[in-house]
Amino acid sequence: MLRWIKRYKWWLIIGGIILLIIGLIVGGIHLEEQQQAEFKQEMNQELKEHKGLIISSIKDSGTNKSFLKDITIYYDKTEHNPMGGIEFYGYVNNDPKLEFGGNLNKTENDHYEIANHDVNSKLFDLLNNK
């Protein structure tokens, strides 16, 4: 047995190094996925905190402000915008056909604003009594 270990000593060392490298790669991938999940949770928390701002932004899209009762945000579709901010999508009054989307941005003085919000044509017509 001792002869076998001496003979294949280099192969055992190389095998150990390969296993170590594979372990580091898998660990790095897991760490990156964990950080992305935490970042997504933070973005969703920001959206929950500023739900009122999103509602007022959608209400300002039309004249029929009493139409909008509630919004539902697709938290699984939330993304970080490369230009800054949080992209979000959702629907109003429990009707998935009345979709909207937008971007929640943090301003220089730590206030939040909705930029580039968009509503589908059916929701636009309902908000404008058409």
Instruction: For 60-78, give the DSSP string.
Output: TTSS-TTS---EEE-GGG-
In this structure, are 66 and 101 located in the same domain?
yes
In this structure, are 33 and 54 located in the same domain?
no
In this structure, are 16 and 67 located in the same domain?
no
| Predicted TM-score (pTM) above 0.85 | no
In this structure, are 66 and 20 located in the same domain?
no
In this structure, are 89 and 74 located in the same domain?
yes
The pLDDT profile of the chain, 130 residues, written as one tens digit per residue, is 566 666 778 788 888 999 999 999 999 999 999 999 999 999 899 889 988 888 888 887 777 778 888 888 999 999 988 888 899 999 998 888 989 998 998 888 878 888 877 888 888 888 887 6
Residue numbers of the domain that contains 86: 41-127
Q: By C-alpha distance, which of 15, 102, 108 is closest to 60?
A: 102
What angle (nearest 5°) sits at the alpha carbon of residue 58, between those of residues 55 and 63? 120
In this structure, are 117 and 62 located in the same domain?
yes
In this structure, are 32 and 45 located in the same domain?
no
**Count of structural domains within the chain:** 2
Rg of the chain over Cα atoms, rounded to whole angstroms, equals: 25
CA distances from 76 to 41, 58, 60, 69, 91 (A): 10, 20, 26, 22, 14
In this structure, are 17 and 74 located in the same domain?
no
Return the pLDDT at 4: 66
Q: By C-alpha distance, which of 82, 94, 92, 83 is closest to 118?
A: 92
Question: The domain spanning residue 123 has which CATH number?
Answer: 3.10.450.130
